[in-house]
Amino acid sequence: MRIQRGLVVARKRFRLSVLTVATLCCLCVPCLTAIAQPGAGDLVRSGNLVQDLSGYRWKLKRMRPGQGVVQGLHELPPADIETHVWISGRVPGDVYTDLWKAGVLEDPYWGRNSTKAQWVMLDEWWYSLQFDVGETLEDKVVRLEFDGVDYACDVWLNGNKLGRHEGMFSPFAFDVTDFVNSGPRWDKGRNILMVKLDPPPQVNHKVAGLKTPWFGDYWRDLVPFGIWRPVRLVASGKVRIDDVYVKPAVRDDGSARVEFEVTVENHADQAMEIKMPIAIEGKNFSSEPLATEVQTRVKPGKQVVTAKIDITDPQLWWPWDLGKPNLYNATIEVRCDDVVHHQQTETLGIRQIKMEWNPGFGPDEVSFPRTVMLNGKRHFIRSACWGGPPDIFVGRTSPDEYKTLIDLAKAANMNNIRIFGWHPPEIPEFYQYCDEAGLTVWQDVIPLGTANISQEPSFVERIYQEAVTVIKERRNHPSLILIEGGEEAFLRAADPVFTKGFLEELGRRLQQHVDLPYVPDSPLTCAIAQSVGYKPKEAVHALAYFYSMGRWLMEDWYRSLDFPIVPELAITSVPSVESLKRFIPPDELWPPGPSWGHHWADLDRLRMQNFDCFGDERTGSLEEFVNATQDAQGTIFQLAVEHFRRAKPRCSGVSLCHFITYWPDMKWGIVDAYQQPKRSYEYVKRAYQPLLVSLDFERRRWKPGESLDAKVWLINDTYQSHQDCTVRLVIKNSDGAHLAVKDFDVALVEEDSSLAIGELKWKVDATVEDSFNVSLSLLDADGAVLSSNQYQLLIGDQELARQRMAAMGKTRSQANLKYTYGNYYRFFPSMIGEGDPSSDSADDVPRAGGFSTNQP
């Protein structure tokens, strides 16, 4: 653990230095040595001390519900060592991961082990921490702060009941001034913290909006819970900073004003005179510091103090493809009688968000403007649903993994990440990395998972308050640009009138605390949403190809879609062979065994999308099948994304479903659970190039002698134009032999544009047997490549392929009706007494029909 003490040098210019003071051992007498290197001028000691209580020193113990208090676990003395024999734990983390690391559980991700771990969520779990406070905390206000507990807990410090909290997303704190032990002697400074976790809720609609949904077609019934965010002890002076809201505004003349709303809390029993100096300077660039100071009198309790700083020539925050993500640091202090009672630093970016209506859609079709104008420039959203956290068992992830994934998103040419309404609002590091990388965030503020919630006013109010807490914690991040209330809420709404009122009131509550555009739900185009007044073209969740597979070939499907924005575009694939070996038992790898189905491999749909992409199901070997699913996912994503981008500015953004998912599954992500990009990642990277050369064709199958008619497009999401360019189009046979080359002259590639620049008419060569490839390159005047792209087209009969897909779709649909969508037994007939059991392998593992026994 580390205690940090702020040292402030008060001169003409405000400066802050934070020094590490001491590292405390767990069981020995702490040694505390203050080391200060004062600068010139008057030196005054800062009042706030922070002791991080996170880490591996926590212990946990299983108890039957209600028995922990009966047995007196909360009464254990601070200096006792009984908890040292409990199971070792970690905070932040979760119960399952601690038990897995301790050997109590087999890895829930391996095979079908998650079904063996369901007993864990039937008991209460006690977490304990013994810690020392080696410095006397006289004249301090001491708070115990929890950033997040999933889901409900009771807390004791040194045998004193501090209180109870319910709600996964809202931070909470207790005043422990009268309960904390402190001092240089170990027997005076030893403390014991007890946190009792209730068994997690088992019915989502009773806690919707207060806990992450734990169901969906990429997870199994295992409800996560734990102390999922950090815990700390904070000591400050009598007047402390409770919250800081930073509100930058860009003026018409290019200057900016940064407004500060600082909520302070006076813990004294009388009013106090305070000074609040605020300093702002560049964080990732050099700038002259700017400062202001407010003097005021604060009464006991909470109140808001405001201040303003004007910046003549601000460095604006931009998404990476439009500029530099410039960031500032603002440091705020509260001083009483020249003593610093509290200090806090906030990172901010100066940017302006406005929404404009998408051209071509009238008021009878849409209810909301969907084009993001960021600092006056169109921000076409190239996004993917986050699908996180990186691990649903948060103890198995770390901020380093977040950084890796944010870097991968940017490397795939994404400029936005959407946190959609089945996943929790993310940890601070996520938004920090997005701020720094120049990725914008499209945020469903709280995950609901259903609109069929209790209409009891007190319960609805709890959801509103949880959402307000979420947005207040994240609102200073410049990356956050869009907020939403629900995710497919109306699709399952039993009472759409209530749902509309609930979601619209949620928006009103949120916009009292943040100046960001809000949409009540996504997509809002279903019949239920339209029954309460929403319009038929609000947005599209482009999921029908997958869920209705067999109804269309891919190009027939995506070319039929015309909407102002696409919050979800979905198709699935299987992780790499190397990743499969990390969670599928060896005897089930190939042909696929039941663990594939447990991890949501829809073998029928995977074979069908392979056929659509290649004219072949590609089931000859494990590696062939896996690679084909990834290439098929990439092809469908690429072609659909390019379709929507060519529709710019009528269409203003598209988000894939998903970038990642939160356990090792065989579903939506283009990056798997081990942070390994799939082959589909490269297709998305091409389709998301800010400057893109694109080929628009009506179909992928052609007969020899037919004329391939296509259009060449250039899409430019940047504000940089290019003159005297050339598009070179090359057609090659599948063996690499050249079939045709054609150049198109481009006098000007305009900024922020989407334009067809030429037509291709090519008679399909009779020598092509099964497929051919088309590549395009955009070259500048010096021959340098500005953008490149490629496509695989097939030799075949389009109508026959439609008929084959329809027949496969009919068979799939009949199986779904018999077994339900989530029942994977249908892929393994011997599990349900159908088929010939003798055809199974010698180890009696059921095998999927229709797959070769050849090994890669």
Q: How many residues does the chain have?
A: 856
Is residue 838 classed as helix, strand or coil in its secondary structure?
A: helix
Q: pLDDT tens for residues 183-230?
A: 987 778 999 999 999 999 999 999 999 999 998 888 999 999 999 999
Decide if 26 is inside a domain: no
β-sheet bridge partners, residue 510: none
Cβ pair 101, 112 in contact under 8 A: no
Count Cβ atoms within 10 A of the Cβ of residue 533 and give its class: 0-12 exposed, 13-18 middle, 19 or more buried: exposed
Q: Which of 79-83, 143-147, 152-156, 832-836 has the lowest mean pLDDT?
A: 832-836
- pLDDT (mean) for 815-834: 86
Residues paired with 341 in a beta bridge:
none
One domain, residues 268 and 146: no
Residues 271 and 139 in one domain: no
For 751, the domain range is 692-798
Helix, strand, coil in percent for the chain, rounding step 5 = 25, 35, 40
Per-residue pLDDT at 39 exceeds 60: no
CATH code at position 757? 2.60.40.2550
| Whole-number Å distance between alpha carbons of 824 and 479 | 40
Q: Are 195 and 149 in contact (CB under 8 A)?
A: yes
Q: Are 671 and 661 in contact (CB under 8 A)?
A: no
Share of the chain above pLDDT 70, in %: 93
One domain for residues 191 and 310: no
**Is residue 179 predicted with pLDDT exceeding 70?**
yes
At how many degrees (to 10) do helices 428-437 and 399-411 cross? 30
Domains in the chain: how many in total?
Answer: 4
Question: What was the pLDDT predicted at 44?
Answer: 32
363 pLDDT above the threshold of 50: yes
Q: CA 87, CA 744: separation in Å to the nearest integer?
A: 69
pLDDT, tens digit (0-9, with 9 covering 90-100), for 684-709:
999 999 999 999 999 999 999 999 99
Cα 515 to Cα 352, 520, 548: the distances in Å are: 10, 15, 39
Whether residue 19 is predicted with pLDDT greater than 60 in this model: the reply is: no
At 165-176, the pLDDT tens digits run 999 999 999 999
The answer to whether position 637 is within a domain reads yes
What pTM was computed for the model?
A: 0.93
Residues 490-506: pLDDT tens digits?
998 999 999 999 999 99
- Dist. CA 430–CA 425, nearest whole Å: 10
Structure tokens at 25: 């051992």
Q: How confident is the model at residue 371 (pLDDT cuts 50, 70, 90)?
A: very high
Q: What is the pLDDT of residue 185?
A: 77
Which of 288, 318, 351 terminates a domain? The answer is 351
Q: Collapsing DSSP states into helix, strand and coil, what is residue 832? A: helix
Angle between helices 603-614 and 798-819 (to 10 degrees): 180
Contact by Cβ (8 Å): 655, 384: yes
Residue 295 lies in a domain: yes
On whether both 272 and 165 belong to a single domain, the answer is no
Residue range 714-727, pLDDT digits in tens = 999 999 999 999 99
Say if residue 458 is in the same domain as residue 369. yes
Q: Where residue 279 sits, what CATH number does that domain have?
A: 2.60.40.10
Is residue 220, in this structure, part of any structural domain at all?
yes
Shared domain for 222 and 147, answered yes or no, is yes
Beta bridge pairs of residue 281: 329
- pLDDT 10s digits, 628-637: 999 999 999 9
Most confident range (mean pLDDT) of 50-59, 215-224, 816-825 is: 50-59
pLDDT band, very low/low/confident/very high, at 812 (cuts 50, 70, 90): very high
CA distances from 619 to 252, 274, 359, 704, 850 (A): 61, 73, 45, 27, 8
CATH of the domain at 478: 3.20.20.80
The confidence score (pLDDT) of residue 47 equals: 59
CA dihedral sign, ordered 141, 427, 433, 304: negative
State CA 28 to chain mean position distance. Answer: 41
Beta strand pairing status for 753-763 and 707-716?
A: antiparallel
pLDDT band at 843 (very low <50, low <70, confident <90, very high): low
pLDDT digits (tens, 9 = 90+) for 228-287: 999 999 999 999 999 999 999 999 999 999 999 999 999 999 999 999 999 999 999 999
* CA-closest candidate to residue 700, choices 811, 805, 793, 623: 793
Distance CA 619, CA 608 (A): 11
Q: Identify the pLDDT of residue 135.
A: 86
Kindly state whether residue 447 falls inside one of the protein's structural domains.
yes
* Range in 162-171, 449-458, 768-777, 835-844 the model is least confident about: 835-844
Pairing of strands 231-236, 272-282: unpaired
Q: Where are the beta strands (DSSP E) in 283-413?
A: 290-298, 301-311, 328-336, 339-348, 353-356, 371-374, 377-378, 381-384
Q: Residue 287: is it exposed, middle or buried by C-beta count within 10 angstroms (0-12/13-18/19+)?
A: middle
- Specify if 397 maps to a domain: yes
Residue 176's nearest CA partner among 344, 8, 53 is 53
- Average confidence (pLDDT) over 31-49: 37
Q: pLDDT tens for residues 424-446?
A: 999 999 999 999 999 999 999 99
Token duo for residue 756: 């067809």
Helix or strand (DSSP H, E) at 314? none
pLDDT of 91 = 98
**In-domain check, residue 256:** yes
Predicted pLDDT of residue 26: 33
For the ranges 20-24, 313-317, 687-691, 838-842, which has the lowest average pLDDT?
20-24
Give residue-wise pLDDT tens across range 553-612: 999 999 999 999 999 999 999 999 999 999 999 999 999 999 999 999 999 999 999 999
Same domain as 135, residue 97? yes
Query: Is 210 found in the same domain as 276?
Result: no
Query: Which of 73-82, 630-639, 780-789, 820-829 shows the lowest mean pLDDT across its residues?
Result: 820-829
Torsion of CA 574, 576, 582, 584, to 10 degrees: 40
* 679, 713, 745 - which closes a domain: 679
Residue 92 DSSP one-character state = S
* Residue 6, pLDDT above cutoff 50: no
pLDDT of residue 836: 55
Cα–Cα separations (whole angstroms), residue 396 to 57, 97, 321, 392, 542? 17, 7, 33, 8, 32
Do 170 and 217 belong to one domain?
A: yes
Quick one: 324 and 181 in the same domain? no
CA dist., res. 525 & res. 567, Å (int): 12
Q: Are residues 463 and 391 in the same domain?
A: yes
559 and 641 inside one domain:
yes
Mean pLDDT score of the chain: 92
**32 has a pLDDT exceeding 80:** no
pLDDT for 464 beyond 90: yes
Determine the average pLDDT of the residues in 112-132. 97
What pLDDT, on a 0 to 100 scale, did the predictor assign at position 832? Answer: 82
Residue 510 in any domain: the answer is: yes
